[in-house]
Structure 1
Amino acid sequence: MLRVVPLGGFEEVGRNMMILEYVPPGKQEADRLIIDMGLRFPEEDTPGIDFIIPNASYLKGKERTIRGIFITHGHYDHMGAIPYLAGPLRNPPIFATPLARGMILKRQEDFPHTPKLEIHTIDKRDRRPIRLGPFSVEPFHVNHNIPDSIGLAIGTPLGTVVHSCDFKFDFKPIGDEPADLQRIAEIGSRGILALLSDSTGVEHAGHSISESVIFENLDPIFREAPGRVIMSTFASLIGRQQQAFLLAEKYGRKVALEGYSMKANVEIAQGLGYLKIPKGMMMPIEDAERLDPKRTVILCTGAQGESNAALMRIANREHRVIRIREDDTMIFSSSIVPGNERSVQYLKDALARQGARIFHYKTLDIHASGHAYAEDLKLMLSLVKPKFLIPIHGQYSMLKAHAELGQSMGIPREYTAVGYNGAIIEFNRERIQVRDEQIQAQYVFVDGLGVGDVREVVLRDRQMMAQDGMFVIVAIVDRREGRVRGEPDVISRGFVYLRESGPLLAEARKRVKMLVEQSGKMKPVNWTYVRDNIREDLGKFFFQKTQRRPMVLPVIIEV
């Protein structure tokens, strides 16, 4: 029996991690492979959270059954959780292509107290399979928006399972080779039991845009820019960065990098030969303010409106060197990640007010998705010819749409399985099903040095404070008489402005004194009950008067 157990990446975009299990006949214990170990970035409903990672509690006690971890490419949503999860899983061997390996090791430098990783380099040109227990794994080259991305053909005693990785088919990529369609077709000709295929782009008709089209559209922007070109994109978009260097060379410009993650990725990619940068083209960021604007390109992070990223600091005039000028050309060469729309719009407005001319993906094709569109997904199905289809990577509606696409290509409905995080998708040579039971796969939050110590109740408290504020009332109570001494003190944060809310606060103090003195007549006094009673009473009172629900924190000090 084979099982696919997604711990993340289903019903969401990001946090990709899944387990492939093989259970031999007559045995209970499985052999396991892990594919990817990614994180997800926080959104507006997760205040104060740094990252969200998969819940690996299902693997507790099963560590010795993990044969290996395969990382399909160097994006954080596929490898960013390694520092948090590899150690607790007793450091299984990790397999990654050179660029992904370099990025993993660079990230690991930020976690000096974690155990040293056992990481092996995958040479995707070597067709010899990697054998791990009952599994034999053959990587094959695909296109994505980062070089060195691979799909996996995983041989098992029941048949071959193909994992597509995040992929697209780009026949004219920049800084990469076209996907190896011949190799994929050769794998498909052997007979494929199941295809696990990327669903993120399924709702887009046609084929995804080639990076060569992006290059053609960026060219006139660089050529006609009256001053500096400031281009912001994802730090891991190595191919797009290569285009910036090529165009800078073509039009006699030098390039300054800004953003820690971008500098690190460029250094790794250049060292491994994935980025070709002419000698003398790079310059320090200080020179970008002094050099002739017509000879300057600034390549930076922050296109998603991140508060601490380079571009936001430039827009807010907080950058230590760069100030926006009226002849600057600003290129947002990335799409907007859902949830970031407001911060990106603020960023564009701030730059426009300072005179920059702005280009983005809605005005011109200057960003291409790294994910296969509907026709690309059909091509993958035609090449692989699987018996079963398991859509992966995307919101539930995307997974469902991909299953329906597979059915339109001739795969019977009962041979498609739409899963979810925590599902157990079970199959053999004859049938496939999503079992009724599920495992724990809820979010694990990383907040500072804490991993998993922020639970839903803490997040709800943060959300409540962010929405309606906090109201603290401190009452000093005479233990013998059961009366409040003086007037209760009030602290309000994000609820009401104290100087303009005298009547409301006076009534709140009056209610607290009344509730304390009513309870003080009963001996012994249950002060926990009194605090809960004050919290409930003031909560109702404030909602009645303001239609807001602040977090009410009563403090009673006995003297």
Structure 2
Amino acid sequence: MEIEIATIGGYEEVGRQMTAVRAGNDIVIFDMGLNLSQVLIHDNVETERMHSLDLIDMGAIPDDRIMSDLEGDVKAIVPTHGHLDHIGAISKLAHRYDAPVVATPFTIELVKQQIEGEQKFGVENDLVKMSGGESMTIGDHGVELEFVHVTHSIIDAINPVLHTPEGAIVYGLDKRMDHSPVIQDPIDMKRFREIGREDNGVLCYIEDCTNANKKGRTPSENVAREHLRDVLYSMEDYDGGIVATTFSSHISRVTSLVEFAKDIGRQPVLLGRSMEKYSGTAERLDFVDFPSDLGMFGHRKSVDRTFKRIMNEGKENFLPVVTGHQGEPRAMLTRMARGETPYELDDGDKVVFSARVIPEPTNEGQRYQAERLLGMQGARVYDEIHVSGHLCQEGHYEMLDALQPRHIIPAHQDLKGFSGYVDLASNQGYQMGRDIHVTRNGNLISIVD
């Protein structure tokens, strides 16, 4: 069976992931993501109102024109998890393909919300739920799609595996090896080891290289949880304002913030549109059980009313958890730093960043500006209370040992970011140009002719 892989997006940058695998006449697309930094550098861009071609020209979503070079029919569109760099282009591109979107329940719900907010295209693809550990048949030629449960900085994440007569294609974006996660089960390494040793083994492994230049292993989410506990408990006797920010989609971290706020005698409240969206969805689908009195407010007027209540009743009684950890211009924390909300920051107030800066110039610049503005108001910043959602080098070694793939395609980075992964794969006997395929956006790689 001919196996061909189209590397469409995410092979020259962190963002706008999209890869297509052709097995015979059956094609499966993995991810359709947004490159948020390409949107943020333009003022007041509303992507939901824009045409896909304009977003492609902007570099914000994948240029999927190479799909016309693949001879076959798209059978499924498979996002690995609910981050925007993996689902943010579905509402712009999925309608071009007569295929269902297949994803885990939490991811499907987020995709549904993306589609409902779309104002340019009518997206009528079926939405099919499949959980980690489950499989489905693709086409009529012995191809099967399997979801393997993984741990990441968002719940309900999977690595999809396409089983073909020539061997398995493992799409390894995004994960960390967490054996003691705060929410859900540990990563299913047992299944990865089985896949590496059954039938024809692993033909090709497509791997996220975000942290491939970092030595050691990525710590568990429980490490970040204990760090956060230590920081917030140290503030128990502080009688001023405490504000926290993290990734809105990081439900495990939000859960810890809510719990520790209660422990130190403060009422947590979640503020910002995306904070309300992700946490509200997780609670509705029973992934979490938040306290009944937890407030979630996304609309601007509701948020400002909540800030007025906090100022009236005393900042020392509340812990607002807000959007804006990357310094996004319109996010809640940035507005607070500019003095554009009723919440007044005073000398000595604490701002806890339970997140890291995404290593991209636009984000780094915006975050620097936000921190300077906070400092000008007297706030004290607690930085990097976080662990990554991506594998460091030891995790990559472990995955190569588990899967023993015959071919490797580095992804989710630029050429510089691929270098660490190429080095460690070379240490394991792989070779550039033979079985390590470093590629760019818009290329086709023939794995089996």
If the TM-score is normalised by the length of the shorter chain, which range does it land in?
A: 0.7 to 0.9
1:504-531 deviation line (CA, Å, top 9, x unaligned):
xxxxxxxxxxxxxxxxxxxxxxxxxxxx
Equivalent of residue 229 in structure 2, options 214, 219, 226:
219
Structure number, greater radius of gyration: 1
* Secondary structure of 1:415 counterpart: coil
| Cα distance between partner residues in 1 of 2:41 and 2:365 | 16
2-11 or 251-260, which deviates more: 251-260
The equivalent of 1:347 in structure 2 is 370
CA drift of 1:133 comes to 4.0
CA distance in 2, matches of 1:389, 1:374: 15
- Amino acid paired to 2:30: I
**Residue 300 of structure 1 pairs with residue 310 of structure 2:** no
**Does 1:379 find its partner at 2:398?**
yes
Distance apart, 1:372 and its partner CA: 0.4
Amino acid at match of 1:196: I
Tell whether the 8 Å contact from 2:33 to 2:87 is kept in structure 1 after alignment. yes
1:360 aligned residue (383, 395, 400)? 383
2: distance between equivalents of 1:43 and 1:279? 39
Alpha-carbon distance, 1:171 to partner:
1.8
- Percent identity, please: 29
1:328 has 2:345 as partner:
no
C-alpha separation between the residues in 1 aligned to 2:192 and 2:33?
25
Gaps of 5+ in 2: 48-54, 298-305
Contact 2:217 2:392 (8 Å CA) reproduced = yes
For the 8 Å contact 2:6–2:67, the answer to whether it is kept is no
Output aligned runs, 1:54-203, within 5 Å.
54-60=62-68, 65-87=73-95, 89-111=96-118, 114-126=122-134, 128-134=135-141, 135-190=143-198, 191-203=201-213
TM-score calculated relative to the size of structure 1:
0.71
Deviation of 1:44 after TM superposition, in Å, equals 9.3
The CA distance in 1 between the partners of 2:33 and 2:195, in whole Å, is: 27
Q: TM-score, normalised by structure 2?
A: 0.87
Question: One-letter code of the match for 2:202?
Answer: I
Is 2:412 the partner of 1:393? yes
Give the drift of 1:180: 0.9
For residues 375-417 of structure 1, the C-alpha deviation after alignment (integer angstroms, 9 at most, x for no partner) is 0000111111111122121111222431331121233442221
Residues in 1 aligned to 2:109 and 2:227: alpha-carbon distance in whole angstroms: 31
2:179 matches 1:206: no
CA shift for structure 1 position 60:
4.7
- Residue 94 of structure 1 and its aligned partner are, at CA, apart by 0.5
Aligned to 1:12: 13
Counterpart-to-counterpart distance in 1, 2:10 and 2:244:
29
Distance verdict in 2 for CA 1:300–1:98, change over 3 Å:
same
Q: What are structure 1's unaligned runs of at least 5 residues?
A: 24-29, 430-559
**Match runs of 1:463-502 below 5 Å:** none
The 1:117–1:295 alpha-carbon spacing in structure 2 relative to 1, beyond 3 Å, is farther
Q: Kindly tell me: are residues 167 and 62 of structure 1, through their superposed partners in 2, closer, same or farther at Cα, counting changes over 3 Å?
A: same
Corresponding residue of 1:258 = 271
Any conservation in 2 of the 1:255–1:283 contact (CA below 8 Å)? no
* 1:35 counterpart (20, 30, 33): 30
* Greater RCO structure (CA 8 Å; 6+ sep): 2
Q: Write out per-residue CA displacement over residues 317-370 of structure 1, whole angstroms, 9 at most, x where no aligned residue.
A: 112x32213342101122222122232122112112222221111xxxx11111
Q: Secondary structure at the match of 2:295?
A: coil
CA distance in 1, matches of 2:101, 2:394: 33
How many residues align? The count is 416
**Counterpart in the other structure of 1:407:** 426
1:15, 1:283 → 2: CA distance?
29
Q: Which contiguous aligned blocks of 4+ residues in structure 1 show a shift greater than 4 angstroms?
A: 43-46, 48-51, 60-64
Query: Cα distance, 1:306 vs. partner?
Result: 1.4
CA-CA distance at 1:224 after TM superposition: 2.6
Does the Cα contact within 8 Å between 1:249 and 1:281 map onto a contact in 2? no
- What is the correspondence of 1:397-476 to structure 2 with a 5 Å cutoff? 397-413=416-432, 414-428=434-448
Of 245, 252, 277, 1:232 maps to 245
* Letter aligned with residue 65 of structure 2: S
- Residue deviations 1:211-250, cap 9 Å, x none? 1111111113212321332111222122211111121232
d(CA) in 2 for partners of 1:255 and 1:202?
36
8 Å CA contact retained: 2:327, 2:370: yes
Once residues 382 and 61 of structure 1 are traced to their aligned partners in structure 2, the CA distance between those partners, rounded to angstroms, is 34
What is the RMSD computed on CA atoms of the aligned residues? 2.2
How far does residue 150 in structure 1 lie from its aligned partner after superposition?
0.3
Larger mean CA deviation between 77-86 and 391-400 belongs to: 391-400
Residue 19 of structure 1 and its aligned partner are, at CA, apart by 0.6
